Amino acid sequence: MHKFSNIDDLNERIRIVRSSVVELENKVSSMINIGDYEKNIQEISRVKNEINRYNDAIETALFKKNKIEEILSKESDDQDTLDESILYEFYKDVEHYLGNIDKEFQELIEFNNSIKKNKLTYYRNRLNEINLDISNMNYSRESIINENKKIISIIDQDNFKNFEKIHKELISQSEQLGQLTKILDIYNELTEDLNKKTNEYGTINDGSIVMDNLSKFNEYLTKISYETFGQRLYLTRADTFPLKLSNVDDGLGTGHRKSITLLLDIAYVSFIKELKLDFPRFFVHDVLETVAKHNLEKIVSFINENESQFIFAILNEKIQKYQFINENDKILRLSKEDKLFKI
């Protein structure tokens, strides 16, 4: 496997390997005697094309072999890391929500293992076929070379071994260049896809859309804040923080901070209901003793209107005389004698 620190590393390696390929091609070309070459041009061309055809086929087969070996390695690693206990928990969850499942868990595991086994068997058989093809092609290529040594001996000084060595190195470097170029193609495809997704995200996150959604949210917040304490609150975008809380009407005191937090949650639930977003519609708060009775009554009313769930802890003395909170709303009672978890 090739490892790179960044895209510049990859590009530089491609440049170096491509340069080596060009250099080797020039060496091969320079070793041919032009005079003898012209006399035997047709036969030389036939032998050369025959050898190149096998070289290309071998290179393609080696690439396929490499990809299949990667797949087998990955499948083997995935099989080693499979945690059946996690799958069993998922199986029980599905069974809980959907009812009885036709197949037992072990049957599903065996079925899944069978699929994996068949997949691995297929790739192993395919790998054996490719290895056999490579062996046969290498044998055929060597046979052509041996049968045509007289033609190939046109190389200067009858240095066939040197020619063969350089030619094999050329094939090796060409194969490496092909692998590196493939990696670069994959990188470019991923980069193009990333840019596309980034542009789509930019469209989704467009300022006008954000402002439209913010205005929808403010419709709820302004309404319920005005009904609660006569102040029209709203949110705006700000540079120092993603959102800023503002007020159309002056004079809102600091004692309403807890009430405002509750109103923001209520407005948000109403907002996501309008957008039909699938989000939890409940919120949890504590330390509500500072919230005025009028404000709390309004808050309870708003919660009932948007059908959300409000979970909070508060002293019983604070709410025991509030008519808008009945006994059925009190889910859990704790005291000095009856503590949570006995702590």
Give the range among 30-39, 135-144, 234-243 with minimum mean pLDDT: 30-39
Does the structure show a pLDDT above 70 at 332?
A: yes
Q: Which of 141, 145, 132 is nearest to 64 (CA)?
A: 132
| Confidence band for 101, pLDDT divided at 50, 70 and 90 | low
Please report the pLDDT score of residue 129 as a whole number: 92
Query: Which residues, at least 6 apart from 184, have a Cβ–Cβ distance to it below 8 Å?
Result: 10, 11, 14
Beta strands in 29-173 (DSSP E): none
Please report the pLDDT score of residue 24 as a whole number: 85
| Confidence band for 84, pLDDT divided at 50, 70 and 90 | low
Does the structure show a pLDDT above 70 at 156?
A: no
- The distance in angstroms from the start CA to the end CA of the chain is 57
Does the structure show a pLDDT above 90 at 132?
A: yes
| Average pLDDT value for residue range 177-187 | 87
C-alpha pair distances (Å), 127 with each of 54, 118, 174: 19, 14, 22
- What type of residue is 80? D
Please report the pLDDT score of residue 128 as a whole number: 92
| Average pLDDT value for residue range 290-300 | 87
| Average pLDDT value for residue range 57-62 | 90
Averaging pLDDT over each range in 97-106, 257-266, 308-317, which range is the top one?
A: 257-266
Does the structure show a pLDDT above 50 at 157?
A: no
- Rounded Cα–Cα distance for residues 245 and 240 (Å): 12
Give the range among 133-142, 202-211, 216-225, 262-271 with minimum mean pLDDT: 202-211
**In terms of C-beta density within 10 A (0-12 exposed, 13-18 middle, 19 or more buried), how is residue 239 classed?**
exposed
Mean pLDDT of the chain: 78
Angle at 88 between CA 83 and CA 89, to 5 degrees: 105
Q: Which of 78, 49, 263, 62 is nearest to 151 (CA)?
A: 49
With 0.75 as the threshold, say if the pTM is over it: no
Averaging pLDDT over each range in 23-37, 143-157, 176-190, 252-266, which range is the top one?
A: 176-190
Please report the pLDDT score of residue 34 as a whole number: 43
More reliable by pLDDT, 113 or 288 = 288
